[in-house]
Amino acid sequence: MVDSVTPKINVAAAPVAATQGYWRGVGARLLRDPTGMVVGSIILLLLLMALFGPWLILKDPYQTSMFLRLKPIGTDGFPLGSDELGRDMLSRLILGTRLSLFMGIVPVVFAFFIGGAIGIIAGYAGGKTNTLIMRTIDIFYAFPSVLLAIALSGAMGAGIGNALLSLTLVFVPQVARIAESVTAQVRHMDYIDAARATGASAFTIIRVQVLGNVLGPIFVFSTGLISVCMILASGLSFLGLGVRPPEPEWGLMLNTLRTAIYTQPWVAALPGMMIFITSISFNVLADRLRAAMAIKE
């Protein structure tokens, strides 16, 4: 179950003086972290493939040929073999990076802003407002993430737009809960009370005093969610509820190649390997970022 791989982050409020110098220190510690640099380089390479994919491919990823179907890895003209319709696997994997990363990152970005805003408001307001918002959020936790994503996508219909919406709805409650937790930790701090005493409005206090202390933990948690979102998005495409053929997307490619697992297992496993490498890289990056933020120099 995908819920079991949801990142477990011990959330603590960031230092009060979350200044530019603090984030410069976090960046410096990440640069000195060999593991962080390795996964960061992998993610950077994937992002470059997503941005410049159309200029990197040598063959038309949509051109089919029944005479060239299921060629093994290393075939002349097909360095990573061909799929069940004779399309070049290398070209489709490169072009599929853009769509797969898009499906994995965009829902988390929307959830970061929407869930973060909901959680911060609930955490700062407290009382009945907090209870009303968070109990509503808790309703979504009655369903596992996988089942909720499948149910929402199935109800709305297949397609990229509906898949993005369903995944966003799945992750908003998770981000909101973390945002509410860290905001509740800082709402009674002395500097917040001092800001209230000066007559500052709630909006001003949240914007100036609260955001700088809670965005760090929320961002780290959201970065870890990208790996889960990629797995869910690939699962939806595998089930026919996400990206539609003939678009190259890793989850959809796994679905179409599943019948070739006995004839060309290495070719059929390539999209799964890409999903694994990408998801584990984002997961490890979130862990190293959390570690860099926890160190105080």
Tell which residue, 219, 218, 231, 241, has the closest CA to residue 278. Answer: 231
Residue 88 sits at φ, ψ, to 5 deg, of -65, 120
CA pair distance 171, 160, nearest whole angstrom: 17
88-145: pLDDT as tens digits = 999 999 999 999 999 999 999 999 999 999 999 999 988 888 899 999 988 888 788 8
28-74: pLDDT as tens digits = 888 888 998 999 999 999 999 999 988 888 888 999 988 999 999 99
Q: First-to-last CA distance in the chain?
A: 39
146-184: pLDDT as tens digits = 888 999 888 888 889 999 999 999 999 999 999 999 998
Gyration radius of the chain over CA positions: 22
Tell which residue, 101, 77, 76, 79, has the closest CA to residue 90. Answer: 79
Give this prediction's pTM: 0.86
Q: How many CB atoms lie within 10 A of CB 276?
A: 15
